[in-house]
Amino acid sequence: MDLYAKSGVNLQLARRMKAGLPALLRRATRPGALGRVGAFGGLFRASFPKMRDPVLVASMDGVGTKLRVAVEMRRYETVGQDLVNHCCNDIAVMGAEPLFFLDYLGTGKLEPAAFRGVLAGLAKACAEARVALLGGETAQMPGIYRQGDFDLVGTIVGVVERKAILDGSRIRSGDAIVGLASTGLHTNGYSLARDILFRRNKLRLSARPRELGGATLGETLLRVHRNYSPFLAALRRMGILLHGASHITGGGFEENISRILPARCAAVVRRDAWPVPPIFDLIRRRGDVSAAEMHRVFNMGVGLALFLSSSAVPSVLRAARRHGLRAFCIGEVVAGRRAVRLV
């Protein structure tokens, strides 16, 4: 064993694991992707002949302390999918079609099972979303991460016609708000959830609280973050004009919806307008968390909020059903100072 490997960085192991990447990532591509995985940079031909004024949209995110749940369960593919889907949603709410994705995985010691699982999840989600996985970085940093720990970050780039950018400027008083159901916590609020469930209540990942209907706590917490970008693309093809859209992530309803509201508009969100998944009730009761804080931290079962003319609501609800999504009219826009009112 060479000195670098003795110090904790195993280059030979990294090369062996990366040798299988081309086969794994074969389906994670789309027209425009050029070159090969493993080059110093990913290549994408930026040609958009059907667009008059294309604008690139970029975003970067991670999956937070949900990683801790994945590590403890030794199930890694889910967080790879989470990362891609979260990033797709972040640019989809601006009207963008996702094009390509890059990932960063940092770890103390390269674990083959974790590496293969994460990459399989990334490839699966990219293939399903028609996103090209152009490459990424795997960094071995002993002394920075604890044994078995790793960090996962992704960058996505998409494109939108300039006149079709969703920035909230079209939102008007009288608009309806439609919420699209989440699969659960998605990728936010895990620090609070883990503190309540595991540290304070001493629950195990294998526990089956009666509230979860037979599912284990670990399975529930690892449910994959839903990708809404294909549905938003379908609405565009149907000619349904959205006035705005918000990805309900960290900061809950207040922070994420207020980001897109015009200065003279307020959003009224009715908390009884959709069924709250049992995991949130479990966290609230076991942690004695106020309703206000729950809605500040978690998505409470609504992963995306759409702003549109009230006349378009029936069409959107029907389209959601056809795409296997649950959707609810959860509120409306009223005149007032920029704010989100939960009633």
DSSP for 202-231? ---TT---GGGTT--HHHHHTPPPP--HHH
* Out of 4-8, 140-144, 242-246, 256-260, least confident range: 4-8
The C-alpha atoms of residue 247 and residue 337 are separated, in whole angstroms, by 21
- 107 and 188 share a domain? no
The C-alpha atoms of residue 190 and residue 68 are separated, in whole angstroms, by 9
Average pLDDT, the chain: 92
Backbone φ, ψ for residue 311 (5° rounding): -70, -20
- Mean pLDDT for 144-152 is 87
The C-alpha atoms of residue 187 and residue 63 are separated, in whole angstroms, by 5
Of 109, 137, 164, the residue that ends a domain is 164
- 112 and 214 share a domain? no
Q: What is the DSSP letter of 198?
A: I
The C-alpha atoms of residue 317 and residue 144 are separated, in whole angstroms, by 47
CA neighbours within 13 Å on the CB side: how many for 55?
A: 12
Whether the pTM exceeds 0.85: the reply is yes
Cβ–Cβ < 8 Å for 330, 313: no
Amino acid at 304: L
Per-residue pLDDT at 218: 96
What CATH number does residue 160 fall under? Answer: 3.30.1330.10
Say if residue 13's pLDDT is above 70.
no
- 230 and 121 share a domain? no
The C-alpha atoms of residue 338 and residue 232 are separated, in whole angstroms, by 25
Of 123, 143, 164, the residue that ends a domain is 164
**pLDDT grade, residue 36 (50/70/90)?**
confident
The C-alpha atoms of residue 261 and residue 253 are separated, in whole angstroms, by 12
End-to-end CA distance of the chain: 64
Total domains present in the chain: 2
- 141 and 28 share a domain? yes
The C-alpha atoms of residue 316 and residue 311 are separated, in whole angstroms, by 10
- Mean pLDDT for 97-110 is 92
Say if residue 63's pLDDT is above 80.
yes
Of 120, 141, 164, the residue that ends a domain is 164
Residue 153 lies in domain: 3-164
| 3-class DSSP assignment, residue 169 | coil
- 103 and 209 share a domain? no
In 10 A of CB 275, how many CB atoms?
A: 10
- 145 and 190 share a domain? no
170 in any annotated domain: no
- Mean pLDDT for 16-27 is 68
Return all residues near 199 (Cβ < 8 A) that are at least 6 apart. none
Task: Kindly tell me the sign of the dihedral angle through the C-alpha atoms of 88, 301, 256, 304.
Answer: positive
- 125 and 271 share a domain? no
Torsion-angle region of 252 (φ positive above 0: left; ψ -120 to 50: alpha; else: beta): left
Report which of 77, 93, 64 is spatially closest to residue 126, judged by C-alpha positions: 77
- Mean pLDDT for 36-53 is 87
- 81 and 219 share a domain? no
**Secondary structure element (H or E) that encloses residue 126, with its range:** helix 112-129
